[in-house]
Structure 1
Amino acid sequence: MTKSIESRLIIVFGLLILMVMFISSFFIIDRVRNYFFEDVQKKIEFMAQSSLLKLLQDKRLKNSEIQDIIDQTMKESQFGFMISKLIVTDSQGRLIASFPRLTIDFFSSDEILNSLAGYKVVKQDNERQVLIFSFPIKDGKVVQRALYLEVSSQNVLGTVRDIKNILLMAYVVAITFSLLIGFLFAKTLSNPLRKLTKQALEMANGNLDVKIDINSKDEIGKLADAFAKMARNIKMYVSELEFEKQKLERILQNMSDGVVAINSKNEIIHINESANKFLNGRVEEFINKMGKESGSDTEVTIYTTDDLTLEVSKATFIDSYMNRGLIFIIHDITQQAKLDSMRKQFVANVSHELRTPITTIKTYSETLLDVDNEETKKQFLSVIIKECDRMTRLVSDLLYLSRLDSGENILNLEEVNLSELVRFVCEKLKIHAKKKNQTLSCSILQDIVAMVDRDKIEQVLINLISNAVTYVQEGGQINVVLQKEEDKIKIIVKDNGPGIPEEDLPRIFERFYRVDKARSRELGGSGLGLSIADEIVKAHGGKILVESKVGSGTTFTVVLPAKSL
C-alpha cells in the first residue's frame, strides 16, 4: 500500500523521538538506581565504621553488652529503619548479638566468613531485594568479631519506579507534542509537494501552460522553479517538434513518390497520398509481399499492379517496440517502363522492317548470278530497286522522326490557303480512289488561311487520306471537311471503312504499330505514317483526334490553332 510523505515523515519523526527517549531513559534510570544504591552504601558504611565498629572493637565486652549496644544503635540511628537484619558473631562465627534477635547459635554466611578472614564485603541480592554488608571487627590486626547487615532496597526500587512513571508520563506528553509538531512540519513540507505534483500531472497530460505558483525559498521552491523552467523548455521543444512534424507530413503528403512505414507488427504507422494512389486499396497485399522479401536496404524491387509499374526501395528503423520497422519508398516508373518497352519494340520493329527488304535484296541478288534470261533479270532488278526504295523511305522517315524528337525546328512557316491545299490533295488522290471505285469528296465552305508549313501539312493530309483509300473497301466513301470554329481550324477525314478496334485506338500513333500487321506489310506500309503526322501537327501546336468503331468507319480530325504562329 502506498504511503504519503506525511505519514512517512510522522512515522520516522515518532520513531526517532521514541528511540531518543528510550536510550535516554535507559541511561537516566540506570544512573538514578546506581546513585541511590551508592548513597545507601555510603550511609551504612559511615554509620558502621564511625560508631558501631569502634564500640565493638573492645574485646572485653560481654555478649549482653554487645546486644545492648546493638539495640541502642538501632534505636538511636537515623538509618535504623533501613536495616532489616544486623548480626554480630565472634571469631568462630557463633552468634553474639542480632537485630531482630535470633535464637540460633551459628549464622552461616559466606560474607561473614570473608569478613572473619579480614575482608569487607558489600553485595546486592536482587532476589531478596537487599544490600548485604559485612565488616571485620579487629583488635589491632587480629579479627575478633564480624558485623553483618542486610539493608532493604525496596525503598530505592520504589523510588526508581516512581521515576519511571514520571518519565513515562513525560514520554507520552513529549511524543504527543512531537507527533503534533511532526504533523505540522510534514504538512508544511507536503503541501507544496502535493501542489507541485498536481501541476506536474497537468503538464504530463499536455497542459504546458500551467502556472507553478510556489513561493517557497527553500529546496522545494528551487524544485518548483526548475519545473517551471522545464515546462517552458518542453513547450518550446514541443512547438518545434510539432512544426517539424507538420513540415515533414506536408513534405511526405506532397511527394510524388509514395511512402509507407510499418512497425515490427506490420501495422501501418504512415502512408501518404501518393502511396494510396499507387496501391489503390492493395496496401495490405503490398505490405505482405514486400515485408517478406529479404534483401539489403539498398536493394530495389519492382512491384507491378494492373496499371502501374512501381520501383520500391526500403529502409529500416527502430520502432516504438524497439524492434525493426520498415519504410518503403515507392517510385512510379510506369511511363519509363512503357518507354523502355516501346524502345525495345521499336528496335525490334526497325530490325524487322529492315531485315525483310535486305533479305529480299540478298535473295534476288544471289539468284541473279545464275539467271541468263534478260526478262527475268529485269524483273529481279525491279524488285531489288523497289525494296531499296522501301528501305530509303523507312530510313528517311526514321531520320525525320529523330529530328522531331530532338526538338529541332523543321517548320518553314508561311501564310497558306488551307482551302486550296485540301482541294489539291483531294484531286491528287482521287485517281487512287477511282481504282477501287471509291468516292472521295471534299467539303470546303470558305477560304481559310493559316500560318503553317505547307509541305508538312500536305504530308499529313496525304497520309490520312491515302490511309483511308488504302484500307477502305472497294466502293467505299471518303469525305474530307475543312472548317473553322472560333480559334481552331479542323480538317476532318471520315470514311465508312472497316474501322479500328477499340483496344487499338490508344496505340495507332505509336511507331511501327499496325492494326492489321499482315495486310499493312502487303500494302507497303511501314507503320510510321501516323506517327510522323502526329508529330508534325504537334509541332504546329495542334493535335490529331481519332474516332472509330468496328464496321462503322473511322474519323480523323486534325485540329490546328487559327491564330498566326
Structure 2
Amino acid sequence: MTKSIESRLIIVFGLLILMVMFVSSFFIIDRVKNYFYQDVQKKIDFMVSSSLLQLLQDRNLKKEDLQDIIDQTMKESQYGFMINKLIVTDSQGRVIASFPRLNSSFFPSDEILNSLSGYRVVKQDGEKQVLIFSYPIRDGKAVSRALYLEVSTQNVLGTVKDIKDILLMAYLISIAFSLLIGLLFAKTLSNPLRRLTEKALKMAEGDLDVAIDIASKDEIGKLADAFARMAKNIKMYISELEFEKQKLERILQNMSDGVVAINSKKEIIHINESARKFLNGDIQDFVERMLKENREDENGVSIYEKEDYTLEVSKAIFIDSYSAQGYIFIIHDITQQARLDSMRKQFVANVSHELRTPITTIKTYSETLLDVHDEETKRQFLSVIIKECDRMTRLVSDLLYLSRLDSGENILNTEEVSLSELVRFVCEKLKIHAERKNQTLSCSILQDVVAMVDRDKMEQVLINLIGNAITYVQEGGRIEVILQKEEDSTKIIVKDNGPGIPQEDLPRIFERFYRVDKARSRELGGSGLGLSIADEIVRAHGGRILVESKVGSGTTFTVVLPVQKDRKLL
C-alpha cells in the first residue's frame, strides 16, 4: 500500500517531535530530580554543620543531654518534617540518642562505620525513598561520635511527579499543535506537488497544453517552471517530429517506387500506394518470397515478376522496436525497361532475320548463276538478285531513318504546304496501282488547308498509308481518302473496306517489324517498318495516327495534325 507524502511527512514530523520531547523530558526530569536532591542535601548539611554538630561535639554531655539536644533540634528545625530518623552513636556504634527512640542499643550500619572512620556519607535508598546522611563527630582530630540521618524524599518524588504530569500535558498539547502545524506544512508542500502530478499525468496522456499555475518561488515552483518548459519543448519537438513524419509519409506515399517495411516478426509496418499497386494484394506472398529468395545478383537486387509488372527489388536491414532485424524492400518498376529490352532483342532478331532472307537469296542465286549458261535464265536470276538488293536497300534506309529519329535529330524541313494539293497529288500518283487491282481510290477534299509541314515526309506518310490499303485490300475493293479541317486540328483519313485487323493486333501495328499477316507481308515485300516510320514522322510534327478496324469490315487510319498556320487557297 502506497503512502502519500502528507502521511509520511506527518509521521516523520510526529516521530521527530516525540523523540525530541522524550529526550528533553528525560533530561529535564533528571535535572529537576537532581536539583531537589541537591537542595535537600544542602539544607541538611546546613542544619547539621551550623548547629547540631557543634552541640554534639562536647564529650562531657551525658546521654540524657544528647537526647534533649536531638529532641529540641527536631522541634525547632524547619526541616524536621523531612527527617524520618536521626541517630547519634558513640565511637563503638552504640546508640546514645535517637529520633524516634530506638529499642536497640546498637546500630551497626555501613554508613555509621564509614563515618566513625572519618568519612562523610551521603547515599540514596530508592526502595525506602530516603536520603541517608552520616557525619563523623570529632573531638579535636579524633572521631568520638557519629550522626546518622534518614531524610524522606516523598516530597521530592511528589514534586517530580507533578512536574511529569505538567510536562505530559504540555507535551500532549505541543504534539497536537505540532501535528496540526505539520499537517498544514505537509499540505502546503504536497498540494503543489499533487497539482503538478496531475498536470504531469495529463502531459503523459498527450495533453501538452495544460497550464501549470504554481506560483511558489521555492524548489517546487522551480520544478513547475521546469515542467512548463519541458512541456513547451516536448510540444515543439513533437510538432517537428510530426512534420517530419508527415513529410516522410507524403514522400513515401507519392514515390513512384514501392516501399514495404516489415519487422522481425514479419509484420508489415509500412507500405505505400505504389507497392500496393504493384503487388495487387499479394503482399504476404511477396514478403515470404523475398525472405526466402537466395538468388541475388552482386548488388543485392532481386527480380520479382507479378502479372503485368516486372519489379526490381532491393533489400535493406534496420533494427526494429524489438531490437531485432527488420527489412525494407524498395520496389522499382522496370516493366517498361524490361519491355524495351525485350523489344530491342526482338528488333535485333527481326533485323537479322530480315537481312538474312535477301542475303541468302542473293547468295543462292549468285552461286547458281555461275553454272547457268542460258541467257534468259541468267536474266531472271539477275532480276531476282537486283530485287533482293533493292529490298535490302529499302530496309537499311528505313533503319537509318528510324535511327535518326531515335537519336532526336531534327529531320524535318518544314515549310508552308498545301495539304489539299499534297493529298490530291499522292492519290493521283497511286491511282494507277489501285486500278491494276480494280480498286476504287477516291479523294475527298472538304476544305483547302495550308499547314507548316515537311512536304516530303508527309508525302511518305500518305504513300505508306494509302499504299498499304491498296496492297492489303482485295481486288475490287474501295479506298477513300478524306481531308478535313476541325477547330483545333487537321485530319487526313484513309478508309478502306478490306479484311480489317484483329483487335489483338491493333495495339502493336506501329511496332517495328510487326506484321499482322507475316507470310503475306514478306510475299508483298513489306519490311514491317512502314507504319513505324509514318508514326514517328507524324509525332515529329506534333500529331498522332489513330486506327480503327474490325475484321471483315475494313480499316480506318486517321492522321491528326495540330493547327499551326493555315489559310484558304484562292
Q: How do residues 29-40 of structure 1 correspond to structure 2 at under 5 angstroms?
A: 29-40=29-40
Q: 2: CA distance between counterparts of 1:481 and 1:76?
A: 167
Q: Which residue of 1 aligns with 2:534?
A: 533
SS at match of 1:490: strand
Q: Which residue of 2 aligns with 1:505?
A: 506
| 1:296 CA displacement | 12
CA change 1:374–1:94 in 2 (3 A) is: farther
| 1:3 CA displacement | 3.9
- Compute the TM-score of the two structures, normalised by the length of structure 2: 0.83
| 1:299 CA displacement | 4.0
Kept in 1: contact 2:466–2:494 (CA 8 A): no
Q: Which residue of 1 aligns with 2:399?
A: 398
| 1:384 CA displacement | 4.2
| 1:167 CA displacement | 0.8
Q: 1: CA distance between counterparts of 2:403 and 2:329?
A: 38
Q: Which residue of 1 aligns with 2:561?
A: 560
1:336 to 2:337 alignment = yes
Q: 1: CA distance between counterparts of 2:298 and 2:219?
A: 52
Percent identity of equivalent pairs: 75
Q: Which residue of 2 aligns with 1:415?
A: 418
* Corresponding letter in the other structure for 1:494: D
Q: Which residue of 2 aligns with 1:21?
A: 21
1:492 to 2:494 alignment = yes
Kept in 1: contact 2:449–2:485 (CA 8 A): no
Kept in 1: contact 2:33–2:156 (CA 8 A): yes
Q: 2: CA distance between counterparts of 1:536 and 1:428?
A: 26
Q: 2: CA distance between counterparts of 1:372 and 1:17?
A: 139
SS at match of 2:151: strand
Q: 2: CA distance between counterparts of 1:74 and 1:483?
A: 163
SS at match of 2:398: helix
SS at match of 2:184: helix
Q: How do residues 380-399 of structure 1 correspond to structure 2 at under 5 angstroms?
A: 381-399=382-400
Q: How do residues 360-399 of structure 1 correspond to structure 2 at under 5 angstroms?
A: 360-363=361-364, 365=366, 371=371, 373=373, 381-399=382-400
Q: 2: CA distance between counterparts of 1:291 and 1:125?
A: 98
| 1:289 CA displacement | 4.3
Over aligned residue pairs, what C-alpha RMSD do you find? Answer: 3.7
SS at match of 1:256: coil
1:151 to 2:151 alignment = yes
Q: Which residue of 2 aligns with 1:132?
A: 132
Q: How do residues 6-405 of structure 1 correspond to structure 2 at under 5 angstroms?
A: 6-202=6-202, 208-263=208-263, 266-290=266-290, 299-316=300-317, 325-363=326-364, 365=366, 371=371, 373=373, 381-405=382-406
* Corresponding letter in the other structure for 2:341: D
Q: Which range moves more in the overlay, 357-366 or 181-190?
A: 357-366
Q: Which range moves more in the overlay, 524-533 or 457-466?
A: 457-466
CA change 1:380–1:126 in 2 (3 A) is: farther
Kept in 2: contact 1:501–1:550 (CA 8 A): yes
| 1:449 CA displacement | 4.0
CA change 1:69–1:335 in 2 (3 A) is: same
Q: 2: CA distance between counterparts of 1:535 and 1:245?
A: 46
- The number of equivalent residue pairs is 558
Q: Which residue of 2 aligns with 1:433?
A: 437
* Corresponding letter in the other structure for 2:492: K
CA change 1:134–1:291 in 2 (3 A) is: farther
- Compute the TM-score of the two structures, normalised by the length of structure 1: 0.84
| 1:400 CA displacement | 0.6
CA change 1:532–1:153 in 2 (3 A) is: same
Q: Which range moves more in the overlay, 387-396 or 268-277?
A: 268-277
Unaligned runs of 5+ in 1: none
SS at match of 1:119: coil
Kept in 1: contact 2:37–2:156 (CA 8 A): yes
CA distances 1:363-384 after superposition (whole Å, capped 9, x unpaired): 5555666x36456666655554
* Corresponding letter in the other structure for 1:421: F
Q: How do residues 535-550 of structure 1 correspond to structure 2 at under 5 angstroms?
A: 535-550=536-551
Q: 1: CA distance between counterparts of 2:440 and 2:262?
A: 65
* Corresponding letter in the other structure for 1:495: N
Unaligned runs of 5+ in 2: none
SS at match of 2:16: helix
| 1:161 CA displacement | 1.5
Q: 1: CA distance between counterparts of 2:378 and 2:98?
A: 181
SS at match of 1:78: coil
SS at match of 2:437: helix
* Corresponding letter in the other structure for 1:25: S
Q: 1: CA distance between counterparts of 2:349 and 2:174?
A: 109
